[in-house]
Every structure is written in structure tokens, then in C-alpha cells.
A and B are shown apart, each in its own frame.
Chain A
């Protein structure tokens, strides 16, 4: 009985860990995809790439909380950079010296 309980517990923990990891992989891929889109628009910010790679390192040493926080910032930066580029697609012309 005891063995069963502990085995169940271990499996649950293992599944949770795997779940977190695959969730991280998914979010990592998404952040990286957005960063590339920002780069394609010529709009990538200075620290986004570093944030993504730091997140990966944090995940590799098991610090999922930090990894997740870093990814969130990277994702935000990439999305905001893309919005910035979309806004600038028209806005720049208004600044041309007349």
C-alpha cells in the first residue's frame, strides 16, 4: 500500500515536471517565433534574444519560475516591437523634414 502511494506520488510529480517542461518548450518556441517576426520587421529590441536564451538556461537548471518570468518579458518585447513596427509603417512619414 505504502509503495503504491509513494509510486503514485512520484509519477504525479514526474508527470507535472514533464508537463511544465513541455509547456515551457511550447512557450519558448512561441517567444522565439515572435522574436524572429520582430527581427524580420527590422524592429527587434536590444535584449529580447538575451532574455530568451537566459530563459532556456534557467529551464535547463530546473528554475522554471525564473524561466517562465524571463520568457514572459521576451514575448512581451517581441510583440510590442512588432506593434511598434506596424505603427511606424505610416507614422514615420509624418516626421520627414518639410
Chain B
């Protein structure tokens, strides 16, 4: 059992945990970026230019000003999750429908994309 003197520390920890759980924490963005870059995960760089990403492809549009292009977060999520919903012939893999990424992973990637 925690003694009374430990309560303030626990409170501080809880505060940070809560903060980490909120959207767009640095950690989530970093995880999203890692997923976006990983060749066996999002591999976004295969087709899209992204800020400092090395040797990007150019099949899809550059990933910038994402908040402007997708003011609704859900629309961006749908685009990453399954681009064939909007265009059945899309060359973008249906990441969720084919389970290339989990929904949680897509959330993290969208967090990251929204910082671009």
C-alpha cells in the first residue's frame, strides 16, 4: 500500500499519464512518424514526399498542410484506412480493410500527419 507521503508523486504521475493519453502528445506523434516511415507498416514514403523523409516516392501527393486539406480528422482517417472507398481504383493500399495497419496504428499515423 502507498504511504501518505507517496500520494503527491502518484498524483504527478497520473497527471503525466493523462497528458500522454491525450491526442497529439509528442510521444504519439513520434510513434505515428515511425509507423509512417516503416517499410513493413505504413511505408508512406514509398509514394509520398514527407518533410525530412529521405528518398521519397512521388506517386501520391506530398503530405503537407494536412489540416487544411482534411479539416475533418475522420476524413483523413478514412483516406488512410481505405482509400478505395473514395476511388475503387486507388493505388493506395486499403490499410485497414487488408489489415496492413491496425486502427490504433492508423490513429497514431493520423496524429502525425496532422502535424504536417
Classify A-B as touching or not with yes or no (CB < 8 A): yes
Taking beta carbons and an 8 Å cutoff, which residues of A are in contact with B?
A: 73, 76-77, 80, 91, 94-95
10 A-B pairs with CB atoms under 8 Å apart are A73-B99, A76-B99, A77-B99, A80-B97, A80-B98, A80-B99, A91-B88, A91-B89, A94-B89, A95-B89
Instruction: Specify which chain A residues have a CB less than 8 angstroms from the CB of B98 in the assembled complex.
Output: 80
Please, how many angstroms separate the alpha-carbon atoms of A94 and B98 in the complex?
Answer: 22
CB distance from A13 to the nearest CB of B (A): 34
> How far apart are A84's CB and chain B's nearest CB, in angstroms?
8
For B, the interface residue count at a CB cutoff of 8 angstroms equals 5
The main secondary structure of chain B at its interface with chain A is loop
Give the shortest distance, in Å, between B87 (CB) and chain A (any CB). 12
Min CB gap A43→B, angstroms? 12
In the assembled complex, the CB of A37 is this many whole angstroms from the nearest CB of chain B, namely 18
User: Given the complex of chains A and B, what is the CA–CA distance between A80 and B88 in angstroms?
Assistant: 16
Residues of B within 8 A of A (CB): 88-89, 97-99
Which residue of B is nearest A94, CB measured?
B89
Point out the residues of chain B lying under 8 angstroms from A91, CB to CB. 88-89
Residues in A with CB closer than 8 Å to B88 are 91
Cα distance, A95 to B97, chains bound together (Å): 21
Minimum CB–CB distance for B41 against chain A, Å: 14
Closest chain A residue to B89, Cβ basis: A95
Residues of B within 8 A of A77 (CB): 99
Please, which residues of chain A bring their CB within 8 A of the CB of B89? 91, 94-95
CA gap between A46 and B89 in the complex, in Å: 21
A residues in contact with B97, CB < 8 Å: 80
Inter-chain contacts of A95 with B (CB < 8 A): 89
Which of B88, B89, B97, B98 counts the most A-chain CB atoms under 10 A from its CB? Answer: B98
